[in-house]
Chains A and B, each alone.
Chain A
């Protein structure tokens, strides 16, 4: 008898603890958008606003290459309307999460599986000629979110996917996408330069790496365009041409966008300690190029970078790789602010 009562009490307690989900007659549930990386979620929030629920699989200070596909991640994606990833062989664990979720929409090739890097030009891919000669890694460097220009296209890709699952929200989504892109332009170039040159030309110039020569050689009203530059690029002026070395191949897009001179990479092959020759080469490179900063993402072991820094007098700068990777950088704009702030501060 007593056991019957305790079972009944247990059932009541369980019912009381069950969260009031859609089964309990809530209004239409917002579709869930799952992003592999915090950078994608930060951008998706800008585009989707309150219309969606957002879930991020990787943590902001986690190595995006290696996330163990835990059951909790699979459970989080089981109801996903979209699974957004960078692609380019970065999140190779995403397939395991998707397969484990039992949600066929987001299986590779499914309608809800979105490759945010689609159509975005990449760097560090072998040139046309060498690819023909048998190089088998044509996908290029995947760390595209570190370039605000490319973030605009990531946002556009995400926006298209969102309209696909919520066509009635098209106007809202398009308006927020435009707003985000305009905010990026203003934050990057300053409003004055955007007014003068226009976003489309400036975007092409950054992608071609020819913005600075354009600003230096073009005059309007007898004044060099350079004087009209504002925003992040104005903040980044001290970094222009600054020789830096990275630990892992991460910083090429950021360097191109902000004019840093990426002189080398410490890690030759991920996960395999460097041999003596490479260690020597990178040390000499740092000395001869006068490298001041060694950029290390905050999930890598910085001991090798520190060792080399000790030998060369360069300075190790440990940086977040994703929005939220350091406190107060959750927002994409504050994330870029933070990176530029750390780098310029390190020079003083």
Chain B
């Protein structure tokens, strides 16, 4: 199906798809670029993975209760509500485990929650057949599949959450950036932490379902990280993050369209590239000597490039083909024991008209026991119109074969100008009860001899006894000297 690979031409279809994917990426950039600042400052980098896993656990629990949005689209809402409930419970856990003088770092708690939520989901699904599919889908997501209604509803939810954070921005930022001050001012830190994680969880639950864990993680952490690299004020960091997120979305999606690769991993890889470029830029900008720093960067880049280029020398050589010609390939396939391959090869042999293949085809005809293979071999042999096939066709016709196959062999013999096809057809008239094989045998007899002797296939064998006897008498009398007459195109 895939015609040539190369840059895609941007037509209406791609423009619409591009617009859709870019729209959802911008929606994701908007909320995650902001939440990422919180995540980085709180040093809870992997909290989104843990939250996503808790949401997945909620969906899994819903599945155990019989709500399967995969099979029944109307179950999507209950499954989402279960995810949400689990997410809120997770938010409570994270709010409660943020200690002022922590003995166990919160990152450890997050890791434990992630691991145990994953394990419990596997245990829950251990008895469910579709386990792998569900767990996998929760973690993958595909932004190419997002429709405009999803873009709109996601934008609406994220705007509401954004608005909530905007209204209480002073408090949210204070408990994140300066919890000690918040404590002094008597703010209810646990409540605000809970509100933060709850809203964060709502966002993550939706985002992961749309874009998958990898992409959501990148949207959350990379723009914020670039922002932190280049600015100190929160507003400026968010602005830089948004700019980076937008740029990477455009670049990543374009790359995915250009190279025809899945969009989500392409955007994730672009994020990594941008972060690397930003880090190097900052390194050069802050170095006492820009020239020396540039030289270091260039040296590093050379080493990496040389490493990649060098390892391409280790590439395994391609498998050398066993068969050097079409002839050898067909002959080998004819000798294989596999019905599909033998039949395929018989068709190729028939089309090639290569006389050297005839012995191979005749070997199949004589030794293969499958009626289907014999039928195709008879057709291939007929195409060669070679008298060498006659004795083998005669031998095969003597086997216990389906009447239609014997008729086909008789026709092949008659077509090769051998009258020995006639007694095979007479045998059908004498032995078969069914009207259909007798009809077809009679058609062949008439076609090659011009005679009927009053035989009527629609009537029973017994009713045709006289006609059969006449046919037998005719054959016994003429068998030895019957010849093909090109003028009348009949045996006489």
Q: Give A residues with C-beta under 8 Å from B.
A: 58-63, 66, 68, 70, 119-123, 125, 127-129, 131-134, 136, 138, 140, 195-198, 200-201, 203-204, 207-208, 218-221, 225, 264, 271-281, 283-285, 298-304, 306-307, 310, 318
Contacts and interface: CB of A to CB of B under 8 A. Distances in A.
B17 A128 contact: no
B333 A128 contact: yes
Given A62-B129, A121-B343, A136-B319, A276 B144 contact: yes
B431 to A, nearest CB: 13
B478 interface: no
A266 to B, nearest CB: 11
B329 A132 contact: yes
Nearest to A70: B126
B14 interface: yes
B182 to A, nearest CB: 42
Given A63-B130, A276-B263, A304-B142, A200 B339 contact: no
A62 B318 contact: no
A284 B13 CA distance: 10
Given A128-B329, A273-B144, A278 B435 contact: no
A128 to B, nearest CB: 4
Contacts of A138: 341
B186 interface: no
B257 interface: yes
B322 A132 contact: yes
B403 A198 contact: yes
B436 A197 contact: yes
B319 A280 contact: no
A59 B402 CA distance: 40
A61 B129 contact: yes
Interface string B1-32: 11000001000011001000000000000000
Given A121-B339, A128-B333, A132-B322, A277 B434 contact: no
Contacts of A284: 13
Nearest to A132: B329
Nearest to B439: A220
Contacts of B13: 280, 283-284
26 contacts: A58-B129, A63-B130, A68-B131, A122-B340, A128-B330, A128-B348, A129-B330, A131-B341, A132-B321, A197-B434, A198-B403, A200-B405, A204-B372, A218-B436, A220-B435, A225-B436, A272-B262, A273-B142, A275-B263, A276-B17, A276-B263, A277-B8, A279-B144, A280-B13, A281-B2, A283-B13
A127, A128, A201 interface centre (most CB from chain B within 10 Å): A128
B142 A276 contact: no
Sorting the interface of chain B by its residue count into under 10, 10 to 19, 20 to 34 or 35 or more gives 35 or more
Given A132-B322, A302-B70, A201 B17 contact: no
Contacts of A133: 321
Given A276-B8, A302-B70, A129 B133 contact: no
Nearest to B458: A221
A173 B261 CA distance: 53
A273 B2 contact: no
Interface string B343-356: 11100100000000
Given A196-B436, A299-B133, A301-B133, A127 B371 contact: no
B256 A276 contact: yes
Nearest to B259: A275
A59 B129 contact: yes
B404 interface: yes
B345 A274 contact: no
Interface string B246-265: 00000000001101111110
Given A121-B340, A303-B145, A132 B323 contact: yes
A66 B132 contact: yes
Contacts of B262: 272-275
A310 B133 contact: no
Contacts of A198: 402-404, 434, 437
Contacts of A281: 1-2
Given A127-B344, A204-B371, A195 B434 contact: yes
Contact of B261 (A121, A196, A275): A275
B270 to A, nearest CB: 15
A277 B260 contact: yes
B328, B402, B404, B436 interface centre (most CB from chain A within 10 Å): B436
B375 interface: yes
Contacts of B147: 307, 310
Given A219-B439, A279-B144, 8 more contacts: A121-B372, A134-B319, A200-B405, A201-B403, A220-B439, A273-B140, A275-B260, A307-B145
A278 B256 CA distance: 12
Nearest to A277: B260
B17 A280 contact: yes
A221 B435 contact: yes
Contacts of B1: 264, 278, 281, 285
B366 interface: no
Contacts of A274: 144, 262
Contacts of A122: 340
Contacts of B133: 63, 299-301
B2 A299 contact: no
A308 to B, nearest CB: 9
Contact of A207 (B142, B144, B372): B372
Contacts of A195: 434
A61 B2 CA distance: 32
Contacts of B399: none
A276 B340 contact: no
B130 A61 contact: yes
Contacts of A271: 136
A34 to B, nearest CB: 17
Nearest to B265: A273
Closest 9 CB pairs of A and B: A62-B129, A132-B329, A59-B129, A200-B402, A277-B260, A128-B333, A132-B323, A275-B260, A121-B340
A196 B435 contact: yes
Contact of A129 (B260, B264, B329): B329
A57 to B, nearest CB: 11
Contacts of B8: 276-277
Contacts of B363: none
